[in-house]
Structure 1
Amino acid sequence: MPTTDNQGSFLNLISIRRNQVTAMDNDQELEDLELFQKNVADLFSGFLASAEEPSSAKSGVETIDSPVTARDNYIPPPPLLSISWFRNLLDAFLCCEAEFKAVLVSGRDPSQFTRPPLDRLIPDLLERSIKALDVCNAVTHGVELVRHWQKLAQIAVTALQQNPIGEGQVRRARKALTALLASTVFDVKENSNGNVHGKSAERSWSFGRRGGGGGATMNNKDPNGRNLSSFSWSVAKSWSSAKQIQAMSANLAAPRGGESTGLALPVYIISTILVFVMWALVAAIPCQERTGLATHLPLPKQLAWAQPLVSLQEKIGEEWKKKEKKGNAGLLEEVHRMEKLAQSLVEFADSFVFPMEEEKATAVAAQVKELAEICEKMEEGLGPLQQQVREVFHRIVRSRAEVLDVLDPVTKLPTPVPY
């Protein structure tokens, strides 16, 4: 056989093998993308199911059709917008973020990031992550403020649990509850950072230039040597959490055509989840300047993985519209209940006459017991919630750095990467 024929056969075999490897890689990528979408849909469908569960089931009320075994072993899901619900939400985000990073970065040819549409989407994601860091900081200080409210409520509970209740205990409880209610309607533009005294400083960015002296850091001690549990962070009066969320969602567009089956899809999915989680946190936790916070995000209703997210944001948006004092105390379920009880107990204190009637004493005792339970939930949940926000903060920092490390060896992107 002529040499040229041998060469032709050899090249044909290489070409066939290369096509087979490419097809296998494409099949694996499609399988990974489908699995990622399914996992996202399953995670948030669980949140939606708990939000739609009948109130009787959430409150533990028995139904006629409930079998004894099911009733005895049943653990109700946390109420929508409660501390426990947000802790589950942040866990879900961390799971999605870890899987996204595995799909996007692991074993990936870095040159793919320099070609459309990733050359545009990756810088957008990195910029969006910086804004998310600022939101995490704002939420962390908002949690500090909620803990301050919990301490004021606990003072009132301790005073009103005395038996019998005298004028001194009522005055002490009224003073604490009045301070609590006054703090929940504070001017968020002036009183931010979890600073109930209203002092505001110029902003120090949470994320500096890569390799520079700035960066995402935590300050664990103040000048007096006391341990602090929040980030070292301050904002200017002009900083707005609502505008920050708006900027994060401004260029959030679903991939079209061939992009909808490629790597553009997981980038879009994680961006959507990131914006949704930050939006929900800002709606629930007291943050600076929430006036104008959108009740709807640009989420694609036609995509299966996005449908539970769309339904959840509609439910949260409805709750936001119901609030009269938008942008102040927020939608956190425990805070909402605490406010209502505090208002009722202040009214009781204003009309207090010693000795109390038995019926009045019973009603007040029930309210104090409910407030004590809320304080206990806050005591147990706010610390871990704050720690989870920190974990999200540091996860975003690490993931951003990993993406930048992948981009470093290859040609610079046409669109400048925000450092």
Structure 2
Amino acid sequence: MSISWFRNLLDAFLCCEAEFKAVLVSGRDPSQFSKPPLDRLIPDLLERAVKALDVCNAVTHGVDLVTHWQKLAQIAVTALNQNPIGEGQVRRARKALNTLLTSMVFDDKENANSNFHGKWTERTRSFGRRGAAAASALNSKDRTAGNFRSLSWSVAKSWSAAKQIQAMSSNLVAPRGGESTGLALPVYIMNMIIVFVMWALVAAIPCQERNGLATHFQIPRNLGWAQPIIGLQEKIGEDWKKKEKKGTAGLLEEVQRMEKVANSLVEFSDTFVFPLEEEKAADLAAQVAELAEICEKMEGLGPLHQQVREVFHRMVRSRAEVLDVVDQVSKLSAPAPY
């Protein structure tokens, strides 16, 4: 679960989302949205999309936090790459690495709201029912501008990523009988993809309150596309169980490697004696080179951040388009005035 893997995952998600919207909306008779089972499934899909927007916001802040860890690690790399290395460089590296590790071991609930920005301001939810002012601004400004600007709001202090994923995965039932041959199946598939992608992001990237994050959700094995997702789900779920026991900062590969090397370098700094022995110098150089490589791979955090925001904007736009169809249905079904 590396940065590059998540970038591929989000690319695939955006492709699926575009194809799904074409199936659901393009050239579709609006009256179908008012008939079973779509009259029940469409509102459920829209509500799930709202919850996914909150997850995107939380993940965006989590990516910012990991970027801060990268900067701290880079400070240590720069200090320890000095030649000859002395007490001053080691103290500087140790301070940066201790700050890094202290941030990593924060409880998940605190991790999203503290440390590198002091304390993030509590703001309203993405499209919460209480966010009337936000919804008004969205309708008046963003729609007239023809695009949706970044809604970089944090989530409420009591918000839980684990509970949000649980809410998204509840009532997610595969269509049966005649429903399995109509639009109900694409809606179910898209719902499942949304839940899986958001769940994987929460498991890997620091988010607020991840304790008790579900390790699996039910997917019928008889569906042709189910096996690859089930395989990924089982692997991620097992890794998450180990993560919760160890209390590490998430499943992102680069973060796990960074934590391991940072701990080793802190141990080195505690026993540092000048001048450095040749064997210890070689071992130090190898660890610093590994940390530098990890920092280099973390340059992908910027593009990943943009992709998460693109997922956010795409879901906002698609949700608006589906709501437009629902509005058409409402107008068609309204009784004629006399």
- TM-score where L is the length of structure 1: 0.73
Which position in structure 1 is the counterpart of 2:10? 90
| Runs (4+) off by over 6 Å | none
Q: Percent identity?
A: 80
Which position in structure 2 is the counterpart of 1:282? 202
Q: CA deviation at 1:112?
A: 0.6
CA-atom RMSD in angstroms: 2.4
Which position in structure 2 is the counterpart of 1:238? 158
List aligned pairs for 1:169-180, cutoff 5 A.
169-180=89-100
Q: Which residue of the other structure, out of 290, 301, 318, is the alignment partner of 1:382?
A: 301
Unpaired runs of 5+ residues, structure 2, are 139-149, 334-338
Quickly say closer, same or farther: Cα 1:142–1:413, change in 2 above 3 A.
Answer: farther
The count of aligned residue pairs is 323
Q: CA deviation at 1:206?
A: 1.2
For residues 293 and 382 of structure 1, the distance between their equivalents in structure 2, rounded to whole angstroms, comes to 23
SS at match of 2:207: coil
Which position in structure 2 is the counterpart of 1:26? none
For residues 246 and 328 of structure 1, the distance between their equivalents in structure 2, rounded to whole angstroms, comes to 21
Say whether 1:160 aligns with 2:160.
no
Quickly say closer, same or farther: Cα 1:412–1:181, change in 2 above 3 A.
Answer: farther
Deviates more, 1:319-328 or 1:260-269: 319-328
SS at match of 1:354: coil
Higher helix share: 2
Which position in structure 1 is the counterpart of 2:40? 120
Q: CA deviation at 1:195?
A: 5.2
Q: CA deviation at 1:103?
A: 0.8
Q: CA deviation at 1:194?
A: 6.7
For residues 309 and 198 of structure 1, the distance between their equivalents in structure 2, rounded to whole angstroms, comes to 38
List aligned pairs for 1:207-222, cutoff 5 A.
207=127, 213-215=133-135
Q: Which residue of the other structure, out of 26, 35, 52, is the alignment partner of 1:106?
A: 26
Contact 1:200–1:235, Cα closer than 8 Å, also in 2: no
Contact 2:159–2:208, Cα closer than 8 Å, also in 1: yes
Q: Which residue of the other structure, out of 185, 193, 198, is the alignment partner of 1:273?
A: 193
Q: CA deviation at 1:327?
A: 6.7
For residues 204 and 282 of structure 1, the distance between their equivalents in structure 2, rounded to whole angstroms, comes to 20
- TM-score where L is the length of structure 2: 0.90
What amino acid sits opposite 1:369 in the alignment?
A: A
Q: CA deviation at 1:377?
A: 1.1
Q: CA deviation at 1:238?
A: 1.3
- The structure number with the bigger radius of gyration is 1
For residues 311 and 412 of structure 1, the distance between their equivalents in structure 2, rounded to whole angstroms, comes to 45
Q: CA deviation at 1:352?
A: 0.7
For residues 137 and 63 of structure 2, the distance between their equivalents in structure 1, rounded to whole angstroms, comes to 18
Contact 2:204–2:252, Cα closer than 8 Å, also in 1: yes
For residues 199 and 332 of structure 2, the distance between their equivalents in structure 1, rounded to whole angstroms, comes to 29
Unpaired runs of 5+ residues, structure 1, are 1-80, 219-229, 415-419
Say whether 1:146 aligns with 2:66.
yes
Greater relative contact order structure (CA < 8 Å, 6+ sep): 2
Which position in structure 2 is the counterpart of 1:394? 313
Which position in structure 1 is the counterpart of 2:49? 129
Q: What per-residue deviation string (whole Å, max 9, x for no partner) do you get for residues 103-129 of structure 1?
A: 111111111111111110000000000
For residues 152 and 133 of structure 1, the distance between their equivalents in structure 2, rounded to whole angstroms, comes to 29
